Amino acid sequence: MVDLNNLKLKEDVDVGVDTEHYVDPSDFPPPPPEGKYTFIQGKPTFEATNEGYLSASMDQVIELPEEYKGGRIGFDRISNKPFERQGVKVNMMTDHLRALGVTERCTTHVEYATAIEAAEGKPFTAQVGWEGYCGHKGTEFEVAKGDYKNAFTIKGEKNFPPNGNGGHLSTIVCPKCGQEVQARAKITRRIPATL
């Protein structure tokens, strides 16, 4: 028998649960509908990408609209790896900082990390989209990680089945292996604050 005598447990609290109607956790909660949201930036964790750029990962919390307040977009990842947008060199960290209203120009990994870290708890606005992925795990069709060509991917809430109430279901059956694919919400665009 387990000895719990050395723990300071409250004996007068009800720790029972409703086992008859128990609700098991799901892998991912249903995503909020696609659209524009105000988020509160979460605590960043930093790492280096394979190419040596700075990457930050955060769980962002919805602030507005009120009906989705407290919802989360997990594993929001941004980096300072440059790419071209309409012929101009840009990066996702600068997009994020501009959405936060930060006007200082960052040129080093330390400057980016310092600015992102200082933004914890601050609001920003972004567009949310849906996407789903099936690598056919555990089936004869299983693909290697990152083999998007042979995986089933789906983007956009409108591409998930209608739910009969004017919205869409957050799951779809993979047409190749028959497994359920869960929609995940992802930040697709950060909207610059008025600078």
Tell me whether residue 18 is in a domain.
no
What pLDDT does 111 receive?
95
Tell me whether residue 117 is in a domain.
yes
Q: Is the dihedral of CA 105, 108, 109, 115 positive or negative?
A: negative
- Residue 173 is classified by DSSP as E
* Bridge partners (DSSP) listed for residue 145: none
The whole domain housing 159 covers 35-189
Q: Rounded CA gap, 98 and 84, in Å? A: 17
Angle formed by the axes of helices 109-118 and 92-100, nearest 10°? 40
What pLDDT does 147 receive?
85
Length reported for the chain? 195
Under 8 Å between Cβ of 44 and 120: yes
Which amino acid would we find at residue 173? V
Tell me whether residue 12 is in a domain.
no
Phi, then psi, of 68 in degrees rounded to 5: -115, 10
Tell me whether residue 148 is in a domain.
yes
What's the structural domain count of the chain?
A: 1
For residue range 119-137, list pLDDT tens digits in order.
999 999 999 999 999 999 9
Tell me whether residue 21 is in a domain.
no
Tell me whether residue 4 is in a domain.
no
Q: Global pTM?
A: 0.79
End-to-end CA distance of the chain: 64
What pLDDT does 2 receive?
75
Q: Which residues of the chain have pLDDT under 50?
A: none
Enclosing H/E stretch for 190 = strand 184-191
Tell me whether residue 25 is in a domain.
no
Residue 105 DSSP SS3: coil
Q: Rounded CA gap, 150 and 161, in Å? A: 22
What pLDDT does 55 receive?
95
What pLDDT does 25 receive?
61
Tell me whether residue 56 is in a domain.
yes
